[in-house]
Structure 1
Amino acid sequence: MPKYLYAFFMAAALSYIFTPFAMKLAWKLGAIDVPKDARRVHKKPIPRLGGLAIFAGFTVAALLTLPLKNPSVLGILIGSSVIVAVGILDDIYCLSPKVKLLLQIGAALIPVAFGIRVEWVTNPFGGMLYIGKYSIIITLFWIVGITNTLNFIDGLDGLAAGISAIASITMLLVNLNLKQGNPVIFTALLAGACIGFLPFNFNPAKIFMGDTGAMFLGFVLSSVAVDAAVKSATVVALIVPMLALGLPIFDTAFAIVRRFMNGKPIMQADRGHIHHRLIDNGLSQKQAVIFLYAMSLVLGLCAVLMVKIGMKEALLALTIGLFTFSYTGKMFLNSQSKKSEGM
């Protein structure tokens, strides 16, 4: 069995085993999500330390499958441990947005200190551009930004875990093609840990991943994306993570613009995310989540095609796929709205 498959199945099994223990711990520590506002779609208190099980399954398997003397491996593992500690504090004590952001930046500095930095960006006129002294700032912006995109989209049962699994598998396939050893193992571990957690998190959820899980997933995905880009130094390696994580990136960008236009703090939660809009248009939680899984699969498939058949062909496939998806999605939403009106 290839090492990455061994890592995948080990992380999945461990995450599945650890989740019931995380549920008990959450109740004991008082890390409970109580439905106290209209933004939340669940009706009863649910424990929210599930991310601890994802992290534990990922980390134990990582210690057995990754070369721990490698600087980038160490940077990602240490940094992810710090971001999980921040998430646990937030799930229990509800940290202020400013404090949480400062702690996220502190965690992101760790992989940067171990040499994981964006030093090249795509030149729109062809080739790559060396960014030199701006590499640290851009890397921090990328890691902290993606860490928060997963946190923002974690609003329905199974949504963040499923999208992260799809993004991880997409990056796994691309990294395999680019022959990136450690990034392949990292993405296999992350995909496995998410899938092992999903039976407890899919609607109706028995446990939420909380900020502990959402920030951990975003942190690892963003750090591994940079690590793979540094090693391959190709245009594709930088664009693929953006496509794989296209849905949470779009949702976060739209949320920032929406809140700015409405004169609200950017970090203030609201009910305007894409998953909320799907629910408000008549979809059930399961339907909305599956709809967004399908959208992520389209983006992930286009990312893989970009490596296999070229950028122009992949962008054409993406355009056709999104147009078809949008049209069928609109038709489905209209039918659901009519059903709701007729009831």
Structure 2
Amino acid sequence: MELYVKVILTAILLSLVLTPLLRKLSYWVGAVDHPDTRKVHSRVMPRLGGPAVFLSFLTTVILYVPLERNFQGLLLGALIILLVGIIDDIRGLSPINKLIGQIIAVLSFISFGNQVEFLTNPFDGLFYLGALSIPVTIFWMVGATNALNLIDGLDGLASGVSGIALFTFFIIALINQQVVVAIAALALLGSVIGFLKYNFYPAKIFLGDSGSLFLGYMISGLSVMGLLKGVTMVTFIIPMLVLGVPILDTFFAIVRRYKFKKPIFQADKEHLHHKLLGLGLSHKQTVLFIYLLSAGFGIGAVLFARNGFY
């Protein structure tokens, strides 16, 4: 337990120090978010929060995690997707180019031996994916990455939901005695907590695409290494519960855009947080309400893991 305390405190302290530095750097390199009719902020905001979270996490895991081959793959993919996000935050990328960058990051992760190899069948037990293993892994990780990116619309929303998901993963990893996954989840959780001091309403810095893509990639990647790895934890139910809010929000966004024949990548103001704001909830109330929803999904995931419903 002492190790876990050291991990989270190290990550929090690093994030508290690095985030203000990246805030200043954001202005210097032009990585700022300008207000428009779709966004809820009313002033220019720095948006290089991703590198602050990444550097805090990376330093912490180098100190405390044995960097075995599969974990090296996780870090390589994380670096690639972070760079994709940074380029988008500074220069802007088309949705297709961002998608290609995400796929390259996931393929890098897979090339180090990380992939979903089995799925559970509630009637017949395990189903070996075989040749479908790589496509399923890509679909899961790219989908989860974009789901988290889509809910990054309010101060502290994506980072807070990520923090809840990471704490859930930490608990489940402890239940399954997956020490490396537990430490990694805790290191990223600490990095997010430190960042939230500056990102919660009223925010002083945004995650940016670099941050939301990085967190989505990391959460889905850790699920492949932990929750979806081996024969004791091979169902999508648990990681889908952990990411329940962003996944459902993304599902309804896809259905909505298909129904009204709009491009699937076209942004709108119909997401869950927009709806809650429309009902009269304040910015902070909306974020806290979605935190509660995420915590509820997280509790459900822990109960599934603890009672063996997988």
Structures share a fold, TM > 0.5?
yes
* Superposition deviation, residue 126 in structure 1: 4.3
Is the contact between residue 171 and residue 240 of structure 1 (CA under 8 Å) also seen in structure 2? no
* Superposition deviation, residue 305 in structure 1: 1.4
Bigger Rg, which one: 1
RMSD: 1.4
Three-state SS of the structure 2 residue aligned to 1:264 is coil
Residue of structure 2 aligned with 1:116, choices 105, 114, 118: 114
TM-score of the superposed pair, with normalisation by structure 2: 0.97
* Partner residue in 1 for 2:152: 154
* Superposition deviation, residue 230 in structure 1: 5.0
* Superposition deviation, residue 231 in structure 1: 4.0
* Superposition deviation, residue 311 in structure 1: 3.1
Q: Which amino acid aligns with 2:122?
A: P
* Partner residue in 2 for 1:321: none
* Partner residue in 2 for 1:89: 87
Amino-acid identity (%): 48
* Superposition deviation, residue 5 in structure 1: 2.6
Is the contact between residue 118 and residue 234 of structure 2 (CA under 8 Å) also seen in structure 1? no
How far does the alpha carbon of each residue in 1:225-248 deviate from its partner, in whole angstroms, 9 at most, with x for none? 001145442246642211111100
Q: Is 1:6 the counterpart of 2:6 in the alignment?
A: yes
How far does the alpha carbon of each residue in 1:159-210 deviate from its partner, in whole angstroms, 9 at most, with x for none? 0010000000001000101011211111101111111100100000000000
Alignment of 1:134-145 (within 5 A): 134-145=132-143
* Partner residue in 2 for 1:25: 25
* Partner residue in 1 for 2:224: 226
How far does the alpha carbon of each residue in 1:298-317 deviate from its partner, in whole angstroms, 9 at most, with x for none? 111111112223539xxxxx
Alignment of 1:295-314 (within 5 A): 295-311=293-309
Task: Check 1:122–1:311 CA distance in 2 against 1; reply closer, same or farther (3 A cut).
Answer: same
Q: Is 1:244 the counterpart of 2:242 in the alignment?
A: yes
1:126 and 1:178 map into 2 onto residues whose CA distance is 23
Task: Check 1:230–1:240 CA distance in 2 against 1; reply closer, same or farther (3 A cut).
Answer: closer
Q: Which amino acid aligns with 1:88?
A: I
* Superposition deviation, residue 71 in structure 1: 1.1
How many residues are paired up? 310
Q: Which structure 2 segments of 5+ residues have no match?
A: none
Q: Which amino acid aligns with 2:219?
A: L
* Partner residue in 2 for 1:45: 44
Residue of structure 2 aligned with 1:253, choices 244, 251, 254: 251
* Partner residue in 2 for 1:335: none
How far does the alpha carbon of each residue in 1:66-122 deviate from its partner, in whole angstroms, 9 at most, with x for none? 112x11110011110111000000001110001110111001101100011001012
* Partner residue in 1 for 2:61: 62
